[in-house]
Structure 1
Amino acid sequence: MNTKLSTFLLASIGIVSQVPAGACTGITLKSKDGAIVAARTIEWAESAMNNMYVVVPRNQELQTLTPSGMDGIKFRSKHGYVGLAVEQKEFMVEGINEKGLSAGLFYFPGYGKYQPYDASLKYKCLADFQVVSYVLAECGTLDEVKEALEKVRVIHIDPRSSTVHWRFTESSGKQMVLEIVDGQVHFYDNPLGVLTNSPGIEWHWTNLNNYINLQPGNAPVHKFGPLEMKNFGHGSGMLGLPGDFTPPSRFVRAAFFQLTAPEQPDARGCVFQAFHILNNFDIPTGTELAWGKAPADMPSATQFTVASDTRNRVIYYRTMYNSNIRCIDLKEIDFDGVKYHAKPLDVTKTQPVEKISIR
């Protein structure tokens, strides 16, 4: 292995070991005119990651990492795509391609287990943090995603790192979750459109049965023996909604907020609504770490929030440094002429403030 590649691999192993996708929360909204918006958060509380957007043209030659180097699957992108990556451009955690397919990875500790790395099969090995990029390059539909991923072996670059699971959404509105448990690949249709972290997706669906009492608005006034029980304030129908940041609690909250959200007329309305809903999952850094351990220069444990309009092929994002919503319109990109490149999500890591002049 040459020195340059060795240095790159060591850096990659360190990144994947130390930088999980954190407490991710994903929702999906459908507008009145049928547009689909897949949105989610990315959390990591211990340090500010090197977050970037990545533009990949059609016919770009790509290769995946294995524990022995950049010597996994070699392929050329069939579709152009744009995604958000952590630490380096190869590690795309969320993105959308020109066919309107959205893909994202979510932290899945303690429950997933990939097949062990076999060097004799490295030509078909795909690193877990590169699945999003591979799928967006190769696929336009969920059927194509299944077909593509059934031909590869998803592996760890470093077995010390946690596993992840994935969410794929096509512009038709169909959504699928992939989990690899005990080396076995499991695809689940996800009509609810919500995803968080461990345990597995089926457990989260079962857990929703514990919250069948939840309802929007207020609970009705009723008698409690000789006493008449009244609401203290608005929202009593939500009593019992879990408020902590564990994956099961976030799943329940995300499902409730998504299902009770008013239907928007179009995709743009869904995008703005998704960001408002996901405000509820913007995790303060101090809650993620022990007393006195939170870094003072980290505005939030939620490093960025992203929403993908699968119909119009637009990806929106905001960051912990800048709450303004920015977007990249894939329809405006010449994917035959653009160069493969990555740029920081934030050039200036300071929240812009608009000053109102009073005259």
Structure 2
Amino acid sequence: MAGNEVPSSSEVLDLTNEHLHSLEKVELNSQLRVLDLTANRLSSIDPRILSLTGLVSVNFRQNLLTDVSAWAEAACKGTLEDLEFRDNQLKEIPALPGFSKLRRLEFSYNEIHSIEALAALGPAPIQELYLAANKIPAITGISQLSQLTTLELGSNRIKSIENLESQALLKELWLGRNRISTVQGLSHMKSLRCISLQSNRLESMLGFEACTGLEELYLSHNGIWRIEGLGSLKNLKILDVSNNRISKVEGLESQTQLEDLWLNDNAIPSLDDAALASGLKPVTATLTVIYLEGNPAAQDPAYEERIRQLLPKLKQLDSKHNLS
């Protein structure tokens, strides 16, 4: 809420988990600013909500809505900052022109096939946009949303990282569980701090070189063969390349801040210098967490002892060993 202003009790209505099928027996104060209808059985939007002029936050999470196109005519266009339709049965995003203060918009866990309707928002100051777990095939309709700092598009049908030229302020980009085979379109993202491309179709981890502000890089469950392209990413604290095809630890020479390294379920054959030991030397002063289980190397009888020797600051080794 703007300026962290706290609304009075008369301006807040929380009906979370009331199992309501309608709001016909509910009184809606004309001064309402915050309305939470999470976990009910609503299949339509009460017209009285649309007439409220001072709403700042509205949450329809976990209901049975199939059509919210009426929201385009809501009277709170000049005040609404947070709108959530997560976990309903929506097939389309409504046109939302004129919502001049909207900062957070959530449509995850629906059945949406296109996000082109977001173009109707115009230059809204949206900072957080959540569209996970839909059926979206492409990134479209958001070129005017230049203030975005968080974009969640995981668990969709996206094949390409594209149409993000206006999103130079992005700090978090979530694209896990899609169909992406190549990392591209990120050369302007100097502000990016976290990116997830887990469970895609990558065979190479090249393409992040210009994202020099990256602190967290998640690439598990792909087909990556080699650790590479990290030379300019000197701010990385977390690197997850688990569940890939990596057979050698390398390419970490510039990682002077790396704390967490996930390498489990790869093809690292042994603990010797050629496969693992020499590759870890650049991060011995910083690494506190490493996962190597699921590699042939982890079957070595002296596995834990040797890893402790290699990484003196280690606090966590795999899921079974807490060294602190």
Query: Whose strand proportion is higher, 1 or 2?
Result: 1
Greater relative CO, 1 or 2 (CA 8 Å, sep 6+): 1
Query: Whose helix proportion is higher, 1 or 2?
Result: 1
Q: TM-score, normalised to structure 1's length?
A: 0.26
Larger radius of gyration: 2
Q: TM-score, normalised to structure 2's length?
A: 0.28
